[in-house]
Every structure is written in structure tokens, then in C-alpha cells.
Structure 1
């Protein structure tokens, strides 16, 4: 599986990105000057221990949080200075999210959970097509309680990709799963990236996942401490956890 080459124009560009939280009189520096470019269509794995700043960075890229200082741009949009209304529109129209916990609506079937997103999307794919992409076409009429954890996470992926976002941001998507189930979820993410061309970022503390990426970025203490490109992307189904 050949790694994607990087075009010249990034989807995301950050310069000197910082984020400081105040817990009483204590300042917590979650990000300490992050310079980063992410490119169209690439699959990036961000590695780092708990507290390294990777979730904070992902939340800022996704418009769920804003930096304390520095620049963060999505194409021509300055996310650091966007209004709440602009960030809401950005999240709705351009970003798909996959979190560690699936956040499915229990009273809706798998298909209906996907429809809940496609009804408000600008250019959605058919819900059944999204479920087929993640290997769940035969489970479309099942409720979350009738699905395994891995199946629920794949429904969450289908829901995220069904609105055909430009960017798919995944925060520890296998964190609540065993290794065999996690590999199925990663395979679904890799397939979605390959077939839709959506820029995909997966953050994790599991270094073995890195081999499936075009590029691997390591965070430590709120800074980028390492970066490398894989000459080829490894099939997630062959990963050894």
C-alpha cells in the first residue's frame, strides 16, 4: 500500500500554537508552540502519552476549542479568530469526528444514527452506502444494544463519513476495544480514507498503529517531538499489537 505524496497546499496550517488552561491558581500548558501542516488525503497518526497535548490539538483543529495564542488555519479560514457561529458551521460542513466512546443514539437503528447526520449535511452520501463502506450493510436495522462495541464504533465511523467531510478527526477510536476488534475499526478508517480521500487524523497512545499511516507525528509535553513518513502504509489487518 503506497503512501500518498504530499501536495504543496496544506489543509491545516498551525504556527506557534499554544493552549493554557487555568485550574484555580495553577496554569496547565497543554500546547507549547506547535507548528504543523496537514495535507489533503493523507492519513496521519499522532502518538503521545496521556497529557501530551494530542487531544487538545485535535479539538482545536476540529473547532471544538480555540488556542490561547498562535495561528491555526483551515485552508483560508482563520479558526483562531472565528466566531462561535463560524466554528459551528465549520464543524457541521467540513469535519467528521470519531471519539473513543461511540455516542450513538440508543433508540435509533444503525441506519437512523447515520441519517441523523446526513439530514443536516451539505452533500451527504447515502446512509446505506456509508454503512457498507465500514462493512455493516447487514446490520443497518439493528439498534446499538444489539451491536458489539466494534460494530458500534464502525457505525460511528459511518456516521462521520456519511456527510463526506473534508477532514476526519479520530480521538483514540480503538481505546475502548480489544486488539482484534480494534484492528477491524482501523481497517474501516483506512478504507474510508483510501476510498473517499478525506484527510484523516488518528490520535492514539498505541505505537503499533503508526505503521498504517502515511505520516506519524509524536507529541510530548505539548510539543511535537518527532515526525516521520512511512515509505508504505501497512494494512491495519496485519498490525501486531
Structure 2
């Protein structure tokens, strides 16, 4: 990665005029249209917007899973948009934890073993049981995914993501496949990690209620940032008006 201008002390991500265009046959799809914003250390940010607004594309670019068509992305003082594939792989491995809508646990491994897969490739991992404890799943450590509910599997997936102690946790619709009650438990686990580990956290959702948990809410529409709001009072998941 190449070094860019020095970031402010608490700036983790900066995007400058980022665009993303996908070629779908003869049609060009503009997923992002000049997105500029910053994400700060320890922040809990919600990316809010309808399907197709560009939320997942932006998250994937921040996580090094995709590259923009134009514009610049910085992680701390490193320019991600100047990185080659091997550098992006190393970046993802060392600095970013991902949580997706579907859990992607290995069925033949216990919860603990699923988390240990990540700790084996991390530089400074926390013990798998400690990661499971953070999401209140340590008592289910020896259960296989088929023995766990959807919410429990998602919490194991979160433990797996944070066991390598990433600086950033990126969550794409983490409650999208869950009912409201189970989603509350999962959201509380994510918020607890943000509070206790100080992990910079970005959560994608189309559910406006979840935005009440965030420090800031970044609303996207048609590939652009439509609005940025700061919450003066953050609610916990049990207080959300669903």
C-alpha cells in the first residue's frame, strides 16, 4: 500500500469522490456516484438505504473486497486504491472483520472450532472462548452449527470475525435473516464489541430502527450520500422502535 496524506488522529477511513460502475451486458450500472466521507476510530456507524442504494458496494470497497472505478480510499495513512491484490488480502486478514447476512459456518466444526480457524491465521488473536464469551456463546462452544439457532449461528460468526482483534468490523445486513427478537440479541452483541473493544463498526441495514443505536447514520440513495445524522442519545437494541 502507498502512503497518503496523514490522516487525522481518529480517522480510520476516508473516501474521496468514490465511484463504482458495473458493466451488465450493454448496460452500465452506477452503484456509487462520487461518495466522500470519513469513518472515525471507535465509531458505530449505520449505513442506511433501500436496496440498490450502494450500501453493500461501499462496504465491500472499505473492506478491500472490491475496488472503485474512480476515486480514492484511505485506511489510516495507507491508500487502499493503490494496493495490489496481495496487499488487499493482507489488509483484510490483519485489519478487517466481516459479518454477512448468512453465517457461512463450517457444518462439521463446533462453534469453538469455527472461531479457531481465524485465530490460526491472525497475528494477535484472542482465545476462541474469549471471543465466544463476548457474544454470550461460550456455553455453546462445543455445539455444531446444526445444533444452534439462526441467531446463535450469527453470534458465532461475529465471534469468528472479531477473534483476530480487527480494528474494523463491517456488517452487511447482519439481522436480515432473523426475526426481531433474535435480531435484537445479535445487535446487542455487535454493540458490545464496539463498546468493550473499541472496534470501529459499520452496519448496513434497510431497517431505520437500527439507526438509533449508532453514533452516526449515513443514508445513501442512488449511489450517493443523501444525509448524515449524528445521534445525541444512542439506544440499546431493546429500546428500538421496530
Task: Find out whether 1:32 has 2:33 as its counterpart.
Answer: yes
Residue 52 (structure 1) aligns with: 53
Please give the secondary structure, in 1, of the residue aligned with 2:97. Answer: strand
Please give the secondary structure, in 2, of the residue aligned with 1:96. Answer: strand
| Aligned equivalents of 2:108, 2:194: Cα separation in 1 | 29
Deviations 1:17-68 (A, max 9, x none): 0000001110000000000100000000010000000000000000000000
Residue 207 (structure 1) aligns with: 208
Task: Find out whether 1:91 has 2:92 as its counterpart.
Answer: yes
| Aligned equivalents of 1:154, 1:206: Cα separation in 2 | 19
Residue 231 (structure 2) aligns with: 230
Deviation at 1:233, TM superposition (A): 1.2
Deviation at 1:8, TM superposition (A): 4.9
| Aligned equivalents of 2:134, 2:38: Cα separation in 1 | 28
Residue 82 (structure 1) aligns with: 83
| Aligned equivalents of 1:40, 1:190: Cα separation in 2 | 14
Equivalence map 1:116-135=2 (5 Å): 116-135=117-136
Please report the TM-score for the alignment, with normalisation by the length of structure 1: 0.96
Q: Which runs of 5+ in 1 are unaligned?
A: 1-6
| Aligned equivalents of 1:221, 1:73: Cα separation in 2 | 23
Q: Which runs of 5+ in 2 are unaligned?
A: 1-7
| Aligned equivalents of 1:88, 1:76: Cα separation in 2 | 17
| Aligned equivalents of 1:53, 1:80: Cα separation in 2 | 18
Deviation at 1:237, TM superposition (A): 1.8
Please give the secondary structure, in 1, of the residue aligned with 2:235. Answer: coil
Please give the secondary structure, in 1, of the residue aligned with 2:238. Answer: helix
Please give the secondary structure, in 2, of the residue aligned with 1:156. Answer: helix
Deviation at 1:240, TM superposition (A): 2.3
Please report the TM-score for the alignment, with normalisation by the length of structure 2: 0.96
Task: Find out whether 1:171 has 2:172 as its counterpart.
Answer: yes
The ranges of structure 1 where at least 4 consecutive aligned residues each deviate by more than 6 angstroms after the TM superposition are none
Q: In the comparison of the two structures, how many residue pairs are matched?
A: 235
Residue 4 (structure 2) aligns with: none
Deviations 1:81-116 (A, max 9, x none): 210000000000000000000000000000000000
Q: Could you say what the CA RMSD is over the residues aligned between the two structures, in angstroms?
A: 0.8
Deviation at 1:9, TM superposition (A): 3.5
Task: Find out whether 1:150 has 2:144 as its counterpart.
Answer: no
Please give the secondary structure, in 2, of the residue aligned with 1:194. Answer: helix
Residue 181 (structure 2) aligns with: 180
| Aligned equivalents of 1:79, 1:91: Cα separation in 2 | 11
Please give the secondary structure, in 1, of the residue aligned with 2:11. Answer: coil
